[in-house]
C-alpha cells in the first residue's frame, strides 16, 4: 500500500528487559519494553514487537511487514558463556600447546572477578574451562612469527584429530588455533577444508582463530576461537528461530546483528563471538551521535539497567577498544568497545554479608524471573528497585506506563525481613542504605574509568541511561564533582536506540613490530591490506556504497610492555607523516599521563594498526512530538520522596508533556512510560528541543 509508514527497528536484549526502538522514515521515534525470556530470547523480541504494534494501533504482522531493517543486539552469547551452557566443543592446536587454555596466565585466576573476591585470593579458583583436556588435540605444524612455514602441517595428524573429536568425543563444534596463525592462516584453512570434506553433512561448526583475530598472543586468541565455537550454535539457533518467526509474519526486510565493536553485520557473516557486549555498544554509538550534536568533548556513558551497570568513555566522539576484553573470566582477542561492567542494576539483590554482618548489595541479580519482590512474581529478596519504590522515587501504579503494578507491601516485606529487622533499622533507613551503597559502587567504577583514561571527572559530561540510570545519576555526579548530566529522550532504551541508528562496521587489528624511524611504504602496504579485506567483508554484509575508513595506531616507548592507541589524522603515510606520527604520540602520551611522563630519548615503536570500515546507513534525526506550552499542564500531583535523610513533598511531572525550554527545580520527579528521572534538591533540569533532559548539579 502506498504511503504507509515504514520502520527501522533496534532491539536490545538485556538481562531483565528486551528494549525496542522504532524509527520512521520521517525520524519519529517510539520505544517500548517487554520482559526478557531467557528460555527462548526470540519470544521476548516478538513480545516487544507486539507492544510496539499496539502503540501504533496496528497488528503485529502488519508492523513486521512494514519493517525495512531490524537490527538486533543480544545477550545470547554472553548468557551461554556465563552459564557454561554452550555446545560440545573440541580444539585442534599446535602440538606442545594443548594446555595453553588450562595453564592460562598468572593473572587468569582473578581475571574478571570483583575486587572483594580478589582480596580473598586463597578462596579463588580458576574459571571453569569451556572444554575438558581430553577434547584438545595437538597436531604437528609450525609457522614462525614472520609467517614462514617451519614444519609443514601433518595431514595424517589432522585427519586423526578430526575423527577422534567427531566420532569418539561427539563434538558439534571444532575450534582451531595454531601458534602463529595470526601471521599466516594457511594451516588453519587446511583444517577447515578437511572438516568440510569429511563431515560436510554433519553441520559441524568450525571456528578458526585467524578468522577472528590477527593479533599475537596464543592464550587469548585460542580462548576466542574456543568461545566462538562454544556459543556459535546457540547464537545461530536464536537467530534462526527469530528469522523463522519473522518470516511467518511476512518479514521481507534485512535482519542485522549488532556487534561489540559498535556496528552492524549481516547474520550470515557475523562471528557469534562478535556479538558480545553488543547491547552496551549500541549505547556507545548513540552517545557518540549525541556528543557530536551537543558539542561535548569528553563524555562518560553510564548505563544502569536491570542487571548490570556499564561505563564507557568517549573522547571527541571516539571510543577505545579493550586490549583483551574479559568475558565469563576468560580473556579474548576481539575488537570490542572498552566498556566496564559490574553487577549493579534495578534487580540487584541486597543482603547481609554472613562474615561481616554488614549490608551488601550485589552483584547477584533477581533478573527477569522472578524479578524484584515488588513485581509480586515470586521474588522474596530485596532489590534496588524495591528500595527505589519504598523511597518514593517510583510510582507503583505507573510502572511501564501502568502496564505493570508494583507492590509496595511486597517490597517492604522483603526489606524488613532480610535487612531492617536483622540490622535493627527501619524499612526506610534500610532502603536508603541500599541506595547509598549501590551509588557508591557505581561512582567508584565511573571514577576508575575516567582516571584510567587520563581525564578528570569534573571536566566530563555524564550521559545517564538505562531504565534505572535517571534515578541514580545525580548521586553519581555529586560524588564525582560532575556538573552536567544529560538524560536522552530515549534514555530508558538508549542502547536499542543506538542500535536502530547504527551503521555497518567492520574492524581489523593487526600486530606489527616497527621501531622508529618508520618506513612509510611498509605502513601503507599494511593499511592497504587491511582496508581491502574490510571492503570485501562489508560487501558480503550487503553494503554496496563507499566505505569510510578510520585508522588508529598503537605505539609505545621502547622497553614499555604496553602501548596506547591514538587515531591517525591522515589516510596514508609519506616521509613527513612517518616522522610526524612520533610527535603526535608524544603529545598524546603527555595528555594522558601529564607533563614529564613521556621520555622521547628512549625511542618509539609501533605494535598495532587498527582500521574501522564504516558503511553508513541513511538515517534521520529523531523528532519530538508536540507538547503543551504550559508547564503546569504536565504536572501530575506530588508525593513524598527521600532526599538527604528526610521525606520531602516532591512535585511529579509527566515527562512527555513537559514543553521544550522548561526549567524545573528540584526536588521534582519526571515520569515517563519507561523511566523515572529524579531531580534532587539543589539541582535543576532543562528540557531541550528534542526532549532530552539536561540536569545541572
Count of residues in the chain:
697
CA atoms within 13 A on the CB side of 686: 7
Cell of 324: 583483551
Encode pLDDT of 546-575 as tens digits.
999 999 999 999 999 889 999 999 989 998
Q: Which option is the CATH number for 504-615: 3.30.43, 3.30.1490, 3.40.190, 2.40.170?
A: 3.30.1490
Residues of each domain in the chain carrying CATH 3.40.50: 85-230
Cell of 3: 504511503
**How far apart are the C-alpha atoms of 632 and 658, rounded to whole Å?**
8
pLDDT confidence bin for 595, thresholds 50/70/90:
confident
For the cut 60, the answer to whether the pLDDT of residue 2 exceeds it is no
Cell of 540: 558480503
**How far apart are the C-alpha atoms of 445 and 462, rounded to whole Å?**
13
| 3-state secondary structure (DSSP) of residue 285 | helix
**Across the strands, what pairs with 679?**
668
Contact status, residue 627 vs residue 659, Cβ threshold 8 Å: yes
* Residue with the three cell numbers 602520551: 589
Per-residue model confidence (pLDDT) at position 1: 44
**Across the strands, what pairs with 640?**
649
* Residue with the three cell numbers 577447515: 192
Fold of the domain built from segment(s) 7-79+237-275: Nucleotidyltransferase; domain 5 (3.30.420)
Cell of 206: 568450525
- Helices (DSSP H) in 568-653: which residue ranges? 575-593
Q: What CATH class is the domain 278-345+454-501? A: alpha beta
Per-residue model confidence (pLDDT) at position 404: 84
* Residue with the three cell numbers 507486539: 50
175 or 634, higher pLDDT: 175
Cell of 502: 547504527
Encode pLDDT of 159-212 as tens digits.
999 999 999 999 999 999 999 999 999 999 999 999 999 998 888 999 999 999
Mean pLDDT of the chain: 92
* Residue with the three cell numbers 582500521: 611
Per-residue model confidence (pLDDT) at position 174: 98
Residues of each domain in the chain carrying CATH 3.30.420.40: 7-79+237-275
What is the 3 state secondary structure string of 611-632? EEEEECCCCCCCECCCCCCCHH
For the cut 90, the answer to whether the pLDDT of residue 362 exceeds it is no
Helices 469-480 and 427-452 meet at what angle, rounded to 10?
Answer: 60
* Residue with the three cell numbers 514543553: 659
Q: Which option is the CATH number for 85-230: 1.10.3470, 3.40.50, 3.30.360, 3.90.1690?
A: 3.40.50
pLDDT confidence bin for 674, thresholds 50/70/90:
confident
**How far apart are the C-alpha atoms of 503 and 272, rounded to whole Å?**
18
118 or 450, higher pLDDT: 450
Q: Is 264 exposed, middle or buried (0-12, 13-18, 19+ CB in 10 A)?
A: buried
**How far apart are the C-alpha atoms of 437 and 414, rounded to whole Å?**
18
Residues of each domain in the chain carrying CATH 3.30.1490: 504-615
Encode pLDDT of 317-350 as tens digits.
889 999 899 998 999 999 999 999 888 899 999 9
For the cut 60, the answer to whether the pLDDT of residue 81 exceeds it is yes
| 3-state secondary structure (DSSP) of residue 507 | strand
Contact status, residue 169 vs residue 135, Cβ threshold 8 Å: yes
| 3-state secondary structure (DSSP) of residue 658 | coil
**How far apart are the C-alpha atoms of 556 and 579, rounded to whole Å?**
15
Mean of pLDDT values over 342-367:
89
Contact status, residue 468 vs residue 385, Cβ threshold 8 Å: yes
For the cut 80, the answer to whether the pLDDT of residue 627 exceeds it is no
Amino acid at each position: 500500500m502506498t504511503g504507509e509508514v515504514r520502520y527501522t527497528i533496534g532491539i536490545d536484549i538485556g538481562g531483565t528487559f528486551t528494549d525496542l526502538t522504532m524509527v520512521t522514515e520521517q525520524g519519529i521515534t517510539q520505544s517500548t519494553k517487554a520482559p526478557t525470556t531467557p528460555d527462548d530470547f526470540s519470544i521476548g523480541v516478538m513480545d516487544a514487537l507486539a507492544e510496539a504494534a499496539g502503540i501504533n494501533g496496528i497488528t503485529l504482522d502488519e508492523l513486521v511487514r512494514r519493517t525495512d531493517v531490524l537490527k538486533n543486539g543480544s545477550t545470547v552469547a554472553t548468557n551461554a558463556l556465563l552459564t557454561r551452557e554452550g555446545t560440545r566443543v573440541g580444539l585442534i592446536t599446535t602440538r606442545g600447546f594443548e594446555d595453553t587454555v588450562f595453564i592460562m596466565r598468572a593473572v587468569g585466576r582473578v581475571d574478571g572477578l570483583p575486587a572483594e573476591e580478589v582480596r580473598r585470593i586463597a578462596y579463588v579458583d580458576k574459571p571453569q574451562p569451556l572444554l575438558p583436556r581430553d577434547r584438545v588435540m595437538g597436531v604437528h605444524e609450525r609457522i614462525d612469527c614472520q609467517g614462514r612455514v617451519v614444519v609443514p602441517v601433518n595431514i595424517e595428524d589432522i585427519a586423526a584429530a578430526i575423527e577422534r573429536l567427531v566420532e569418539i568425543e561427539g563434538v558439534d563444534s571444532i575450534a582451531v588455533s595454531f601458534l602463529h596463525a595470526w601471521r599466516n592462516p594457511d594451516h588453519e584453512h587446511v583444517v577447515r577444508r578437511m572438516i568440510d570434506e569429511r563431515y560436510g553433512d554433519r553441520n559441524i561448526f568450525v571456528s578458526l582463530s585467524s578468522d577472528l583475530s590477527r593479533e599475537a598472543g596464543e592464550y587469548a586468541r585460542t580462548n576466542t576461537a574456543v568461545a566462538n565455537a562454544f556459543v556459535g550454535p546457540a547464537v545461530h539457533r536464536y537467530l534462526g528461530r527469530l528469522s523463522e518467526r519473522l518470516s511467518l509474519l511476512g518479514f521481507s526486510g534485512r535482519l542485522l546483528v549488532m556487534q561489540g565493536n559498535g556496528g552492524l553485520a549481516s547474520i550470515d557473516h557475523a562471528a557469534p563471538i562478535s556479538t558480545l557486549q553488543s547491547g552496551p555498544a549500541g549505547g556507545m554509538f548513540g552517545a557518540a551521535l549525541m556528543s557530536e550534536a551537543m558539542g561535548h568533548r569528553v563524555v562518560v556513558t553510564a548505563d544502569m539497567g536491570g542487571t548490570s551497570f556499564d561505563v564507557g568513555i568517549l573522547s571527541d566522539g571516539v571510543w577505545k577498544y579493550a586490549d583483551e576484553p574479559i568475558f565469563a573470566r576468560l580473556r579474548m582477542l576481539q575488537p570490542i568497545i572498552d566498556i566496564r561492567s559490574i553487577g549493579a542494576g534495578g534487580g540487584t539483590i541486597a543482603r547481609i554479608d554472613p562474615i561481616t554482618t554488614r549490608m551488601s548489595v550485589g552483584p547477584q541479580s533477581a533478573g527477569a524471573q522472578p524479578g524484584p519482590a515488588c513485581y509480586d512474581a515470586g521474588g522474596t529478596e530485596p532489590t534496588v528497585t524495591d528500595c527505589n519504590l519504598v523511597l518514593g522515587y517510583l510510582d507503583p501504579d505507573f510502572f511501564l506506563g501502568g502496564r505493570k503494578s508494583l507492590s509496595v507491601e511486597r517490597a517492604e516485606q522483603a526489606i524488613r525481613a532480610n535487612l531492617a529487622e536483622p540490622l535493627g533499622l527501619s524499612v526506610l533507613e534500610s532502603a536508603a542504605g541500599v541506595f547509598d551503597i549501590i551509588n557508591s559502587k557505581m561512582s567508584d567504577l565511573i571514577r576508575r574509568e575516567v582516571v584510567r583514561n587520563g581525564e578528570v571527572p569534573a571536566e566530563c559530561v555524564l550521559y545517564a541511561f538505562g531504565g534505572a540510570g535517571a534515578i541514580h545519576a545525580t548521586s553519581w555526579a555529586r560524588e564525582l564533582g560532575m556538573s552536567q548530566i544529560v538524560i536522552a529522550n530515549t534514555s530508558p532504551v538508549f542502547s536499542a536506540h543506538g542500535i536502530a541508528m547504527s551503521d555497518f562496521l567492520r574492524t581489523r587489528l593487526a600486530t606489527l613490530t616497527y621501531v622508529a624511524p618508520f618506513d612509510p611504504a611498509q605502513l601503507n602496504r599494511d593499511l592497504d591490506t587491511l582496508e581491502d579485506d574490510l571492503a570485501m567483508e562489508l560487501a558480503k554484509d550487503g553494503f554496496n556504497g563507499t566505505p569510510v575508513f578510520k585508522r588508529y595506531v598503537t605505539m609505545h616507548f621502547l622497553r614499555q610492555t604496553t602501548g596506547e592507541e591514538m587515531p591517525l589524522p591522515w589516510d596514508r603515510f609519506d616521509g613527513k607523516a612517518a616522522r610526524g606520527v612520533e610527535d603526535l604520540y608524544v603529545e598524546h602520551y603527555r595528555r594522558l599521563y601529564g607533563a614529564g611522563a613521556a621520555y622521547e630519548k628512549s625511542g618509539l615503536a609501533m605494535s598495532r594498526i587498527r582500521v574501522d570500515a564504516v558503511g553508513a546507513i541513511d538515517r534521520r534525526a529523531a523528532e519530538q512530538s508536540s507538547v503543551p506550552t504550559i508547564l503546569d499542564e504536565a504536572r501530575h500531583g506530588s508525593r513524598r520522596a527521600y532526599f538527604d535523610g528526610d521525606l520531602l513533598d516532591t512535585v511529579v511531572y509527566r515527562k512527555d508533556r513537559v514543553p521544550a525550554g522548561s526549567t524545573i527545580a528540584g526536588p521534582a520527579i519526571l515520569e515517563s512510560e519507561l523511566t523515572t528521572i529524579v531531580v534532587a534538591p539543589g539541582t535543576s533540569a532543562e528540557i531541550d528541543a528534542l526532549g532530552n533532559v539536561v540536569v545541572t548539579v
